[in-house]
Structure 1
Amino acid sequence: MNGPALFVRYAFAPNRLGYCGPVDASALLERWTGTGFRAVAKQFEGAWPQLRTIAAATGTADPLDHDVVEAYWIGNRLLDRAGDGQGGLPHHSFQVFCLYPWANLLLDERRAEHALEVLDQCRIRWGRVITVRADQVVVESRPLVWDGTTLTLGVSGRETARVSVDGVSLVGPLHPGDWVSLHWEWVCDRLTATQLVALRHYSAYHLGLVNQRLGGRAGTSGPRIQ
């Protein structure tokens, strides 16, 4: 899979909901195979600067190189060469937990419930497929929980996620037992064992950073996430 195709799998869900990217969500699906895709990707004001940061730090010419795109959404070895000097790494979990305002809103009791929901859906999370139902799958995953001081992962539960748009699957056939990545209410991709470890690792790292800022007891190394 090339970089633009991987980018589409992860960026499609929030773009379809109108949270980021071009106003016309169909542009993301229509242009990823053409030369005009770079202009589309640049409209993702959160992701594009981070892709450029990874590319520049690792000597990669193209911010849409597959490994650069994978580093941002899932995590890989490139991130360890692209830190900001303050502890943060250009990973999507850093964007969600440390740059977006939602984590700070957890400290406001009136807004905490909604903020937690947004944080949980916006992060790239992982889950295991339980059943497959046409254009949907039931996945077992661990949601974010907030106890008033610390943001952690709770007990595993089941959720339903979509896998196709207009009858066309973005991820290909899935089977019970597959590990997948999720963004909002969509399945982004099937995860390899290496990708699963990386996504858990970098998510835990940035949970540690945000908990430190919010006054929790987690250190910058983050809690171990299973």
Structure 2
Amino acid sequence: MTQTAHRPDAAPAQADGALLFGRYAFPPNERGYCGPDRAQELLERVSEGASGGALAEVARGFEGAWPYLEHIGQCLGRAPLDAAVVTTYWLGGPALARCGGAAFARSLEERFRRRLSREEFERLEDGVRNGGTPHHSFHVFGVYPWVGLLRGGMTDAPLLVLDRCRIRWGRVVSIDGETAVVRSRHLEWDGRRLHLGPRTLDTARLRRGGHALSRPVEPGDWVSLHWDWVCDRLTPQEMSWLVQSTSIELEAVSSCRYSAPATVLS
């Protein structure tokens, strides 16, 4: 991939993990899929860089993501909203391998064992044995029921949710007001496995009412996306992490013997 020219603010230094968390957590939150009913506050705080206790309180209300942050934080010896922990959960990186395996399996058992049937929980264990890690994509592909629905013959709606709910990447082609045209790869289903399709053009939101999640972007930049929002501008290193972690989780879940849990878990 062609790298864009360096800009002074292009460094991956995101000193505030709560703000970084909010960039990725807002898109599903505004749809009511996860987190507390404080979407507008979350957008405004992230856009204005207004971190602190209030934003951390909102982050702790994301009952799906928070245990993953706690688990990664324990592995790394850091707080759940440390920037390195948040980056690892959303984008990936070398720390993921340290946080998988038996420790991750125990974490899943504490959270889900009593809420699932034996077969459903064995599927989660299977995903970990196949290399699954505490990355956001594992939760999307392995915990939510959408892959199971695909295997059951229901295709369009589950595939859309899987594709939009994962953190994906794309390159900005053009910008028009509060939206951007981005070239990215979407998930496809071949009847047995999920995989990434060819690059296509898509429209994503940069701002709403003047409020943005991402740092400023320009045509040619690589960006991360969640649902229909541009979340942030990616460095080459972050891009590499996201591509690799997505591949790992797709392979882990596609190799499972069981269908996904039959109930959407928060």
TM-score, L = length of structure 1: 0.90
Residues 27, 40 of structure 1: 8 Å contact kept: no
SS of match in other structure, 2:85: helix
2:91 match: 74
Bigger RCO of structures 1 and 2 (CA < 8 A, at least 6 apart): 2
CA distance in 2, matches of 1:151, 1:214: 14
CA distance in 2, matches of 1:165, 1:63: 29
Residues 214, 233 of structure 2: 8 Å contact kept: yes
SS of match in other structure, 2:183: strand
Ranges of 4+ aligned residues in structure 1 off by more than 6 Å: none
Pick closer, same or farther for the CA change 1:154–1:30 going to 2, 3 Å: closer
- Partner deviation per Cα, 1:23-61 (whole Å, 9 max, x = no partner): 12123245551212232112111110000000011111x
1:27 match: 41
Pick closer, same or farther for the CA change 1:120–1:167 going to 2, 3 Å: same
CA distance in 2, matches of 1:20, 1:13: 10
**Would you say how many aligned residue pairs link Structure 1 and Structure 2?**
213
Q: What letter is aligned with 2:41?
A: A
1:195 equivalenced with 2:238 (yes/no): yes
CA distance in 1, matches of 2:199, 2:43: 32
Q: What letter is aligned with 1:54?
A: I
1:10 match: 24
Residues 13, 184 of structure 1: 8 Å contact kept: yes
Measured after TM superposition, the shift of residue 140 of structure 1 is 0.4
- Within the candidate set 65, 76, 79, 1:58 is matched to 76
Higher Rg: 2
SS of match in other structure, 1:175: coil
Residues 43, 213 of structure 2: 8 Å contact kept: no
- Partner deviation per Cα, 1:123-155 (whole Å, 9 max, x = no partner): 000000000111100000011000101110111
| Structure holding more helix per residue | 2
Pick closer, same or farther for the CA change 1:80–1:131 going to 2, 3 Å: same
The worse-fitting range, judged by mean Cα deviation, of 66-75 and 85-94 is 85-94
Residues 140, 157 of structure 1: 8 Å contact kept: yes
SS of match in other structure, 2:256: helix
- Partner deviation per Cα, 1:164-208 (whole Å, 9 max, x = no partner): 121122213221110000000000000000000000000000100
Unpaired runs of at least 5, structure 1: 216-226
Residues 149, 214 of structure 1: 8 Å contact kept: no
Identity percentage over the alignment? 49
CA distance in 1, matches of 2:239, 2:44: 29
CA distance in 1, matches of 2:38, 2:232: 23
